[in-house]
Chain A
Amino acid sequence: MATATEVHGAHAPGHHVEESWVRHYLFSTDHKIIAMQYMFSGIFMAVIAGFFAYAFRMQIAFPNADVPFFGLVSPGVYNALITNHGAIMIFWFAMPVLLAAFGNYLIPLMLGADDMVFPRLNRLSYQVFFVSIVVLLASFFVPGGAFGGAWTMYPPLSAKGAYSLTPLGSTLFVSAVGLEFVAFLMGGINFITTAMNSRAPGMKLYDVPLVIWMIVIASVLFMASVGPLIAGAVMLVFDQQVGTAFFDPDRGGDPILWQHLFWFFGHPEVYVVLLPTLGIVAEVITTFARKKMFAYRTVLYTVFGTGVLSFTVWAHHQFVAGIDPRMANIFTITTLLISVPIAEMLFVYIATLYGGSITLSVPMLWALSFIGTFLVGGVTGIFLGASGSDIYLHDTYFVLAHFHYTFFPIAIIGGFAGITYWFPKMFGRMMNETLGKVHFWISIVALNCIWMPLFVLGTAGDHRRIYNYSHFPDLWRPELHNIRVFATVATVVFFLAQILFFYNFFRSMFRGPHAEKNPWRANTLEWTTESPPPHGNWPPDAMPSVYRGPYEYGHPDRKDDFWPQNVPA
């Protein structure tokens, strides 16, 4: 079975080669290992970014006091903390975990394939991603310190060292983001080609599980939107280092151009991270409600529509930025329009519960709470998409509360739903349900205690990116500051609760009860192989074929309440 040498092109497909430990874990081309690399990198970065949030929330609540385990948060440090918190959470946590980790893990397994189509390109994409992490972390230690001009990097602040006071950090930051983009473009190649071409025999497009569709569409959205920003990032680095003036108004440049390039990507980007979570939630709720997905095709068409519309809304981030005021009306219309397919999708998910038989397992708790919390995020977006009210609410904590009520469900709740659901498959062990439930309840209550009050603070006038509200007499009132302190306490509680998750995660990985192939009695193909799957996922002569869609739960002709895709009729 093992061969010591490889003759180019002479291997039979699926032929296994013995690997050393280093080869296996660090330089593997196996999609499952690469998925784990992305997942653990993402979680590691989330811990860092979460710690930053702890530090800056403590500064807001107790200004100029030493933050335990951190030290003093000066204005410059505060700006660097919030900037890197935001950038890390989006580019180095949400995307790697939701898109790259789950995409890499699930696409071949759910499609009945043995790996991605281009395994070596896949490995290269992670290596480029890894370099982007190194570059970003390096920016914290260079003279001048980390970049502090917000994750949006608006010039002229980001373009001139004299303004930002972080000349080196700024360039490293932009470069890290650019490298991350390149890594994900490379990853997208595998996702698209594998999903289109490597489906199991018999698997038609409408038999593909929703999470795979969502990840593929997200990859397309990413690819179609990131190009102008890559061009913009090159232009920004040139402004920073080479003396060009693309964004320098003193020399004929236009800072608003950057904003357009950024947000043309920035808005589709939120759907890039939303779609994988919508997919994860679809898989979890169908499995634990034992119920066929309501109107699968409607979900798909709605996603296509949302994807297309997402390219038409970007300037709602720029209503008061100095764009022609007439343009704002167009973007108000498109932004409110996009709320319609999103609402439809959430209604479809809720409708899926009707007639089901719901078990509140830990993954189901997370998946359901995604729906409940994302609804809040979705409706509060209306306040900001409507130009008339955005005049007031722009750059206030209302915006922060809105996007955390969308990003938290997307990245954290969706991430936990996916991890707790596929943990048995990934690691061959079961997580502890009781610990999982305690972790869930504390986290959910804490998260709502952090973010719900911040809508009030935003409405009261708290503006963003302010390290110390004592400078603003109208805002330095006990009834407002008590809310800030309350939110900070809830933040600390949330962090501490994650210890429960990490304990559960690592302990279960090594000492949890062994998992069978299909502990959740689900239909999709990943549950037909071992937990964890071997290299190649199935024996080469026993690759699955597909006979039906992925959501045949509760079918009247069946004795069992589920009907796996690979069981012949």
Chain B
Amino acid sequence: MFNLPEIWVPAASTSASDIDFVYSLIFWIVGFWLLLSEAVFFWLIFRFRRRDGVRTQYITGELKSEKKWITYPHLLVLVCDVFIVVAAVRVWYDVKQALPPAEQTVRLVAQQWAWSFVHPGPDAELDTADDIKTVDELHLRTGTRYHFKLEARDVLHSFSVPAFRLKQDAIPGRVITGWFEPTKPGTYDIQCAEICGIGHALMPARLVVETPEQHAAWMASQAPPVSLAAHAAPRAQE
């Protein structure tokens, strides 16, 4: 009832169900108004079709008794809008304004026409020697809250993951921070959601959400053999 988008697309992040709730709430409320208005509309066309000998009524719409048919419904519309605003603003705050503390940070870089990702690696810190850099494939762990740092190298792009219900435009010259927490293992589309030139449809990427064990195994398979000396080396500048 309140997670309608899941009919077509899985929910794989903690925010997905919140956003699906807003979508579904709106669906039921506006659906009611749409059906009611259309029903009244079609009924009136039928009821007042031209018939011989029946004259039209002279109704100005200025009388209170007439106006109330408009005033009451449109006040009710306003009330419904208030419910929707409250629901939407709450979810917006949670997803876009608040930045809850995160365990790890990933860097997402968009350019014409590919995605590159920087994972923090086994030491769970970004911008260190053991960072794992990939192109067009992002690996995340379930149950971990991440911050993301989103950048664009040239024109506007947009990081979009339907399974997370997440979208954020990437602006060249800026680093934009956000958060997400994956919940459901699987492989999902990453899209660029802002037209970025002729290769706009040619920069799909894949999001691989893994259990912690799977994720650790992936990291191990990525990292080059690491000597103790490398661990002892001074950390790269932030």
Contacts and interface: CB of A to CB of B under 8 A. Distances in A.
B229 interface: no
B41 A371 contact: yes
Contacts of A9: none
A388 B54 contact: no
A66 interface: no
A388 B167 contact: no
Contacts of B42: 372
Contact of A355 (B30, B57, B89): B57
B22 A554 contact: no
A372 B39 CA distance: 10
Nearest to A162: B154
A423 B8 CA distance: 46
Contact of B87 (A150, A289, A388): A388
Contact of B41 (A148, A250, A333, A350): A350
A561 B50 CA distance: 12
Contacts, number: 293
A325 B96 contact: yes
* Most chain B CB atoms below 10 A, which of A320, A394, A466: A320
A26 interface: no
Nearest to B189: A474
A150 B195 contact: yes
B204 interface: yes
A358 B50 contact: yes
Contacts of A333: 85
Given A79-B198, A394-B167, A298 B61 contact: yes
Given A351-B70, A467-B201, A289 B56 contact: yes
Contact of A340 (B54, B81, B89): B81
Contacts of B235: none
Interface in B82-109: 84-85, 87-93, 95-97
Nearest to B62: A295
B81 to A, nearest CB: 4
B230 interface: no
B70 A344 contact: yes
A325 B97 contact: yes
A291 B40 CA distance: 18
A154 to B, nearest CB: 6
Contacts of B50: 290, 357-359
Nearest to A398: B23
A514 interface: no
A297 interface: yes
Interface stretch (A172-180, A208-216, A374-382, A432-440): A374-382
B202 interface: yes
B149 to A, nearest CB: 13
A461 interface: yes
Interface residues of B, number: 91
B9 A340 contact: no
Contacts of B41: 350, 353, 368, 371-372, 375
A403 B93 CA distance: 26
A459 B9 CA distance: 8
A293 B66 CA distance: 12
Contact of A379 (B30, B60, B163): B30
Contacts of A295: 60-62, 66-67, 70
Nearest to B168: A320
Contacts of B37: 346-347, 350, 375
Contact of B84 (A350, A353, A368, A386): A386
A395 B22 contact: no
Contact of B193 (A157, A456, A463): A463
Given A75-B198, A165-B197, A256 B171 contact: yes
A389 interface: yes
Nearest to A337: B81
B197 A163 contact: yes
Contact of B95 (A157, A289, A391, A395): A391
Interface stretch (B120-128, B172-180, B217-225): B172-180
Contact of B88 (A75, A79, A294, A388): A388
Given A250-B173, A291-B56, A389-B23, A395 B193 contact: yes
A190 B197 CA distance: 41
Contact of A332 (B54, B89, B97, B199): B89
Contacts of B176: 322
Contacts of B194: 154, 395
A343 B74 contact: yes
Given A326-B97, A372-B41, A356 B48 contact: yes
A103 B224 CA distance: 71
Interface in B124-160: 154-156, 158, 160
Contact of B18 (A296, A359, A380, A388): A388
Interface string A225-264: 0000000000000000000000001100001100000000
A386 B88 contact: yes
Contact of A249 (B112, B174, B195): B174
Contact of B56 (A388, A474, A554): A554
Given A157-B197, A355-B56, A375-B34, A347 B70 contact: yes
Contacts of B38: 372, 375
* Most chain A CB atoms below 10 A, which of B54, B81, B96, B195: B195
A391 B54 contact: no
Interface in A447-493: 456, 459-461, 463-468, 471-475, 480
A286 to B, nearest CB: 10
A432 B117 CA distance: 63
A336 B135 CA distance: 40
Given A358-B45, A466-B201, A561-B55, A322 B174 contact: yes
B95 to A, nearest CB: 6
Interface in A116-169: 148-150, 154-157, 160, 163-165
Interface string B60-79: 11100011011001100110
Interface of B: 4-5, 7-9, 18-19, 22-23, 26-27, 30-31, 33-34, 37-38, 40-42, 44-45, 48-51, 54-62, 66-67, 69-70, 73-74, 77-78, 81, 84-85, 87-93, 95-97, 112, 154-156, 158, 160, 162-163, 165-169, 171-174, 176, 187-189, 191-202, 204, 206
5 contacts: A76-B198, A165-B198, A255-B156, A295-B67, A391-B19
Lowest 8 CB-CB distances: which A-B pairs, in order?
A249-B173, A295-B61, A355-B57, A388-B91, A554-B56, A461-B162, A386-B88, A294-B61
